[in-house]
Amino acid sequence: MEQSLSEFMAGNLQTFWEMTGFYNATWEHFVMLAVGIFFLYLAIKKDFEPMLLVPIGFGILIGNIPFASGMEVGIYEEGTVLNILYNGVSAGWYPPLVFLGIGAMTDFTALIANPKLMLVGAAAQFGIFGAYMVALALGFAPDQAGAIAIIGGADGPTAIFLSSKLAPNLMGAIAVSAYSYMALVPVIQPPLMRLFTTKKERVIKMKPARAVSQNEKIIFPIVGLLLTCFVVPTALPLLGMLFFGNLLRECGVTTRLAKTASNALTDIVTILLGMTVGASTQASEFLTLETIGIFFLGFMAFIIASSSGVLFVKLFNLVLPKDKKLNPLIGNAGVSAVPMSSRISNNVGLEYDPSNYLLMHAMGPNVAGVIGSAVAAGVLLSFLG
């Protein structure tokens, strides 16, 4: 039977219409698009972690454009451009690359000068495991609970790395939650710091850190890698890259590599990581009661982590000599939101004594928190992976 030209055109237009986003859209798509736009609003207008929330927010828009399956454009369709870019998240190699950049950016001097501050970084990791217990109580499976709890480490790449291994279906919500709360650190932490400290404690002046030799700075990443990864080899991808980046920075003969790792490479990976994590958030996984639970648990984890850091310093002061007491206001910096939580320690400290600069003291537990959260992720992966 011969087909008329009008029928032919109508058929093609019908096919085209069925391929459009308007035809395939559901209300869930529009909710997700609204979520994406909300994140862009927070990032651009409110300055909430813009470097991360802009890629994530726009990624949510990319990932939730409705289309008919089989068009080979979706992030979960094998071999598509987005799918290839998403491999860095699903196979877990973007977060270690970000850690390489973090290592190349981080100055561990404050920690090397006062190694006992590492324990403050360790104590703050209680936020992760406290949230793990709460997550179990809310009915999450142990592996999901572990993936959610890592939000308490306040470390986006670690959260993405661990959730991609333990609970890939929750990764989008976990990443968004982790970065959202990191942006809210200046709002969450100061009230807790004031709640758990007395006025007398807030004005404790710490001794200035001693000078650290270049040799010590070079030895730190080597010894740090060997010791931590012998204890928790599962943290090797994160810690290996972190310490490698730091060695590039400190050894003095690879300045060019350190610059690339801390600038161009980190920027490229951050763009791809944020965008693909955003694009991986699909309505079926994101618009659930579980997501609300994840956001609640993330909040709990941040509160527990910040509080336990402060309380640990108070406890630690009981055994420290009088002239070596620590200011508990640096305890919040045990979470690894570098350097924002250190800045908060400094700002709150200055409120009570304008001559008491805590920034460099807080950097110690802050960078220890980066190591601590990577170790904690490795431990969770060993137990639950």
Partner 1 sequence: MKKNILLVIIAVVACAMTSYAQGRKGLCINEVMVQNDSSVIDDYGLRHGWIELYNSTHAPMEISSVYLTNDKNNPTLYPVPLGDVNTEIPPLQHVIFWADSEPNKGTFHVSFNIKNGETIYIFDADQKTILDQVTIPVDLAPNTTFARKIDGKGGISQDAWEVRDGKGDLTYITPSSNNIIVDTNTKVESFRILDKNGFVLTIMAMAIVFSALLILSICFYIISKIGEKISKVNKLKAQGIEPSELPKGKKINDSGEEIAAIVMALHEHLNAHDQENTILTINKVKRAYSPWSSKIYGLRELPRR
Binding site for partner 1 (CB under 8 A): 111-113, 115-116, 118-119, 121-123, 125-126, 128-130, 132-133, 135-137, 141-143, 145, 208, 210-213, 215-216, 219-220, 223-224, 227-228, 231-232, 368, 371-372, 375-376, 379-380, 383-385
Sign of CA dihedral 321, 323, 325, 326: negative
Closer Cβ to partner 1, 34 or 223, answer by number = 223
Q: How far is the CB of 43 from partner 1 (least distance, A)?
A: 13
Closer Cβ to partner 1, 98 or 128, answer by number = 128
Closer Cβ to partner 1, 5 or 319, answer by number = 319
Burial 289-306 (b: 16+ CB within 10 A, else e): ebbebbbbbbbbbbbbbb
Residue found by looking up tokens 């404690």 in the block:
201
Alpha-carbon span 367 to 106, nearest angstrom: 8
Q: How far is the CB of 224 from partner 1 (least distance, A)?
A: 6
Tokens at 131, concatenated: 């949230």
Closer Cβ to partner 1, 126 or 179, answer by number = 126
Closer Cβ to partner 1, 176 or 337, answer by number = 337
Closer Cβ to partner 1, 71 or 223, answer by number = 223
Q: How far is the CB of 123 from partner 1 (least distance, A)?
A: 8
Alpha-carbon span 365 to 125, nearest angstrom: 11
Per the omega criterion (within 30 degrees of 0), is the bond before 339 cis? yes
Q: How far is the CB of 366 from partner 1 (least distance, A)?
A: 13
Residue 116 contacts residue 268 (beta carbons within 8 Å): no
Closer Cβ to partner 1, 112 or 330, answer by number = 112
Q: How many residues does the chain have?
A: 385
Q: How far is the CB of 227 from partner 1 (least distance, A)?
A: 5
Q: How far is the CB of 215 from partner 1 (least distance, A)?
A: 7
Q: How far is the CB of 371 from partner 1 (least distance, A)?
A: 7
Q: How far is the CB of 341 from partner 1 (least distance, A)?
A: 17
Q: How far is the CB of 18 from partner 1 (least distance, A)?
A: 37
Alpha-carbon span 283 to 280, nearest angstrom: 10
Closer Cβ to partner 1, 54 or 384, answer by number = 384
Closer Cβ to partner 1, 120 or 175, answer by number = 120
